[in-house]
Amino acid sequence: MNFFALRFSIPTVVMLLAFSTVSLSPVHALEIKVRDQATVQGSTIYLKDIASFHPETDPRVGVLARLDVASAPSPGKGVSLNGDFLKYKIGSAISGKEDITLEVPGSMVVKRTAHLISAAEIQRIFRDHVMSRVPWDPDKIVFEKIEVPETVALPEGKVHWEIAERGSDRYLGHVAMTINFFVDGKQVRNVPVSGKITLRQAVVKASRKINPGQVLSKEDVTLVAEQNGQLNKDVLTSLDEAVGKKSVRSIQPGQPITSQMIEDPPVVKKGNRVVIQAQSDVIKVTAQGKVMEDGRVGEEVRVMNMGSGKEVFAIVKGPGLVEVAF
């Protein structure tokens, strides 16, 4: 072989060496680098959430980005993914593709975002629900205690809720309900809530012992402000409801007075002289009479006509006045 036949120019040699160097190290067309921390919103961890691609214009990025790596943690929580697990999960998707390199840390942490509902917001939901349904004056309602979770973490999305009653719907005493939270129309969380609710109101009580048949005076009763978890609708709440009424039973000092304990006193009594009237649209007739039994306004009593001596039934219209049908 002729030595001079193997001579090359310097530029040619440089080019050959450069070609030789490139051919010894294969070109990697796509690099995937997994981060050591990432944040996701949904319930699934995709490769695009935890890794970067270079170059991003590689046509295979679209498919690889949607690779389901693992389930995401609960909203507001985090999860640690082992590096060997990531190599296996991602490596199986790029197996046989020698022009793709994968860089994975020893482990990584993935956190999930959340829509947080504070304890104060849950209490507000509870109060608003009760206040929109109570039949009493809202100013009289007292929320003594509301028991709720500290914070509720929901998935990201459009949130609304529905409330299910649990037990009594009287909204006094111990009141319990369940708040069902929905995100984007899907029910995601049930939160039990309970509270103690009392009613602030004035109650008429006896200021001293009241005997049966006694007509109540202002000195017999007093108005006391109370806060109670039980409501007795028959308890009087105004002195005007008691004064002038007749007791039908014995009432002890300090005892709340109910409508069953009193009645209107008779406005006519047995033996009273009264006017008996009968009238129509065109005529009115009156006569003197004597009541044969006690009667209150609107009650029917027996009355003797003093002129004829006959007894008739008449409706008590007021003190000294009764009316018979014409």
Residue 171: pLDDT band (50, 70, 90) is confident
Domain 200-263 has CATH 3.90.1210.10: yes
Q: Among candidates 186, 185, 179, which has minimal Cα distance to 161?
A: 179
Does the pLDDT value for residue 26 go beyond 60? no
Does the pLDDT value for residue 202 go beyond 90? no
Residue corresponding to tokens 């004829």: 308
* 166-173 average pLDDT score: 77
Q: Report domain extents, the chain.
A: 23-112, 116-197, 200-263, 273-323
Q: Provide the H-helix boundaries in the chain.
A: 10-24, 47-50, 61-65, 83-93, 119-131
Query: What pLDDT, in 10s, does the model give residues 100-120?
Result: 999 999 999 999 999 999 999
pTM to 2 decimal places? 0.62
Domain 23-112 has CATH 2.60.260.20: no
Q: What's the rounded Cα separation, in Å, for the pair 276 and 278?
A: 7
Query: What pLDDT, in 10s, does the model give residues 127-149?
Result: 999 999 888 888 889 998 999 99
Architecture of the domain made up of 273-323: Roll (2.30)
Same CATH fold assignment for domains 23-112 and 273-323:
no
* 206-213 average pLDDT score: 92
Query: What pLDDT, in 10s, does the model give residues 255-300?
Result: 999 989 998 888 899 999 999 999 888 888 999 999 999 998 899 9
- pLDDT at residue 168 in the model: 63
* 68-85 average pLDDT score: 95
Collapse the DSSP code of 303 into the 3-class scheme (helix H, G, I; strand E, B; otherwise coil) and give the result: strand
Q: Which residues are CB-contacts of 283 (< 8 A; sequence separation ≥ 6)? A: 326
291 CB neighbour count, 10 Å cutoff:
23
CA dist list (Å): 88 to 30, 211, 277: 18, 92, 107
Collapse the DSSP code of 61 into the 3-class scheme (helix H, G, I; strand E, B; otherwise coil) and give the result: helix
* 305-314 average pLDDT score: 92
% the chain with pLDDT above 70: 90
Q: What are phi and psi of 77, to 5 degrees?
A: -110, 175
Does the pLDDT value for residue 301 go beyond 90? yes
% the chain with pLDDT above 90: 66
